[in-house]
């Protein structure tokens, strides 16, 4: 996947010439030429944001963010958005420091917390909590300026009304974006193109594409197996044959 840098330097994450949405609209209009172009584009924009939110199919490493003295405190959280004029962070999956707070040239993982971190500690940060999807708290509060060393692995989303999409929108997700948009269009009532049966068919195909995209993203678009996770109350023991849990 692309490396998204905040200053715009690095590998591009947008399709060539920014014509992604134009191409998808034209594809849909070949099937339903009676639908106004502006309406197709409007419904496509809603589909894009729904698809990438539900599938989490667009994931990239974003950074580096600057860690100043006191940055990341409850009253001074680190704002992760905007990434740039075309994309925004929707969910944070992982966070780390590189280089480390001591300057070592390896990633220093930050431990995620499911609750707001309360306390007076001022020290090199080791944990983080997401106050909002794009507001990050660091704990302990940084005791000094460490520079631009904070990196985020996140689910990204195209901003509203952008024409630029990630390359995978065309290489991996073209069908999903078409089917989702056509489901929205065909289920409109009282229109010349209204077709509840077709809307149901397209919606079913769209939902399957969401599940497929999520699975591909979980496997990092490779053959890696996704780990089986068990809740804490399930206990630590061996289950089944072959072993399902072995810790």
Q: Confirm whether 145 is domain-assigned.
A: yes
- Asked if residue 90 lies in contact with residue 157, where contact means CB atoms within 8 angstroms, the answer is yes
Together in a domain, 135 and 40: no
Number of domains in the chain: 2
pLDDT digits (tens, 9 = 90+) for 142-196: 999 999 999 999 999 999 888 888 889 999 999 999 999 999 999 999 999 999 9
CB atoms inside a 10 Å sphere around CB 19? 14
Same-domain check for residues 54 and 41: yes
Q: Is residue 127 part of a domain?
A: yes
Domain that holds residue 103: 60-163
Examine the domain organization and report whether 121 and 26 are in the same domain. no
Same domain? For 50 and 82 the reply is no
Task: Check whether residue 95 and residue 157 sit in a common domain.
Answer: yes
Q: Is 220 left (phi over 0), alpha (psi -120 to 50) or beta?
A: left
Q: Are residues 101 and 138 in the same domain?
A: yes
Give yes or no: residues 73 and 128 share one domain.
Answer: yes
Mapping DSSP to helix (H, G, I), strand (E, B) and coil, where does residue 6 land?
coil
Q: Which of 135, 163, 191 is the last residue of a domain?
A: 163
In this structure, are 175 and 153 located in the same domain?
no
Domain-embedded: residue 12: no
Residue 76 lies in a domain: yes
Nearest alpha carbon to residue 176 among 88, 60, 46, 48: 48
pLDDT in tens, 37-79: 999 999 999 999 999 999 999 999 999 999 999 999 999 999 9
Is residue 186 domain-shared with residue 139, that is, in the same domain?
Answer: no
Asked whether residue 127 falls in the same domain as residue 37, the answer is: no
Do 106 and 141 reside in the same domain of the chain?
yes
| Pairing verdict, β 111-113 and 127-132 | parallel
Q: Do 22 and 141 belong together in one domain?
A: no
CA distance 134 to 165: 20
- 97-146: pLDDT as tens digits: 999 998 889 999 999 999 999 999 999 999 999 999 999 999 999 999 99
d(CA 10, CA 151): 14
């Amino acid at each position: 996947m692309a490396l998204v840098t905040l200053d715009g330097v690095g590998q591009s994450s947008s399709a060539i010439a920014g014509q992604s949405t134009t191409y998808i609209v034209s594809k849909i209009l070949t099937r339903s030429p009676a639908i106004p172009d502006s309406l197709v584009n409007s419904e496509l924009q809603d589909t894009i944001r729904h698809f990438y939110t539900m599938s989490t199919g667009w994931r990239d490493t974003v950074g580096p963010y600057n860690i100043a003295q006191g940055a990341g405190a409850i009253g001074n959280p680190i704002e992760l958005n905007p990434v740039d004029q075309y994309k925004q962070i929707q969910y944070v999956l992982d966070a780390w420091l590189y280089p480390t707070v001591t300057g070592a040239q390896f990633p220093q993982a930050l431990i995620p917390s499911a609750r707001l971190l309360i306390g007076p500690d001022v020290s090199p940060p080791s944990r983080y909590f997401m106050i909002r999807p794009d507001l990050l708290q660091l704990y302990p509060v940084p005791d000094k300026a460490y520079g631009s060393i904070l990196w985020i692995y996140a689910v990204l989303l195209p901003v509203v009304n952008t024409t630029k999409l990630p390359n995978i929108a065309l290489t991996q997700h073209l069908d999903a974006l078409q089917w989702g948009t056509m489901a929205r269009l065909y289920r409109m009532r009282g229109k010349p193109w209204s077709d509840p049966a077709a809307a149901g068919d397209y919606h079913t195909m769209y939902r399957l594409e969401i599940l497929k995209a999520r699975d591909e993203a979980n496997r990092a678009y490779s053959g890696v197996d996704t780990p089986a996770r068990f809740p804490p109350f399930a206990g630590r023991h061996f289950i089944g044959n072959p072993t399902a849990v072995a810790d």
